[in-house]
A and B are shown apart, each in its own frame.
Chain A
């Protein structure tokens, strides 16, 4: 592969290690998790979702999960973009405002309502909204919902994104990006915990 495997890098998996050998048994999953990353962050078409927006959403989503090599990686990716420094400062402030514990949210009214769990309904702060802009503000609102209270998602959330200037295709890619990162940060965490239990060199 032309780019080093991102999950191996973030999980600290060294070539020739026990976890490297185990991951090699799922070569399609390994290669296509990498292709998923590349098609989200080095896409052939950025018309519906710009690279800066992708980096900002990624820094927000992974930052909401707490400090980790994954969060650091996407923070640095955002910092390296053209408007990165200003956006990173805004995103860092919004992560602090948005941090909570999930999953929570409501079920359709019925027997499951007994499991409804209230929690933070996050919206980008009024002071930072002009910094991030209408499109990105709508995306951060929905990203927070998907991270912490995915079962609350409703048709109205799609209308909010469309009203903020997102296209149907942009919403699909944006949803994929948030959902993919929810996967990636967990695989990396899981593999790091397993790697540490094996007593292998688990760099950083």
Chain B
């Protein structure tokens, strides 16, 4: 793609806003039909190169988007949003998705008001000491992201001892697992650009 000529890839994890450039062709906005708009869920996503690429399979995109939104935005109960975003950021840091980490580190900072701690996660990596509760969330996320999966009873015990109940633990499992989807999708199809 012509845009590839202007890619300026970030070389560190950052909370700055990054762009993202596709390696294959997104659908042109002019070719989007109602089937595609249903897949986009939010019509404004037609402006995004990433979503116009994913909308090549509208049914999968729609289901993925609605899964994502409920796991992260449904805060009527369960784990606070900040810690769901922490699970997403830690997973992205460990898998190496600089773009995903930037977005969800920003969200984690916004909702937790612990921007410096979030930055330490990005700078120092997933073994950083962020206090018992965040350490347990980060460690559980990393154990789930490993292949073969390393998540076990000790992770559950640590999350419980840090004060999480079973429903909150399910939110950690969902949030961290979802980012193994998100990371691989973004990394497969394109790259971030400053």
Contact = CB atoms under 8 A, between A and B. Distances in A.
A179 B181 contact: yes
Contacts, number: 199
Contacts of B174: 26, 29, 187
A182 B141 CA distance: 13
Contacts of B152: 193
Nearest to B183: A150
Interface residues of A, number: 68
Contacts of B62: 32, 35
A45 B21 CA distance: 27
Nearest to A35: B63
B181 A182 contact: yes
A150 B97 contact: yes
Given A44-B59, A172-B57, A33 B24 contact: no
Interface in B150-180: 151-153, 155-157, 166-167, 169-170, 173-174, 176-178, 180
A132 interface: no
B120 interface: no
Contacts of A193: 151-153, 155-156
B149 to A, nearest CB: 5
Given A28-B69, A33-B67, A150 B96 contact: yes
B178 to A, nearest CB: 6
B131 interface: no
A190 B151 contact: yes
Contacts of A178: 184, 188
B32 interface: no
Interface string A74-117: 00000000000000000000000000011101011111100100
Given A111-B12, A175-B189, A179-B184, A66 B96 contact: no
Interface string A21-32: 011011111011
Query: Which 5 residue pairs are nearest across A and B when measured between Cβ atoms?
Result: A110-B11, A151-B96, A190-B173, A28-B70, A183-B181
Given A66-B148, A155-B4, A190-B176, 14 more contacts: A28-B74, A32-B62, A36-B67, A44-B59, A103-B147, A150-B183, A151-B95, A157-B188, A169-B57, A175-B188, A182-B181, A186-B177, A187-B173, A197-B157
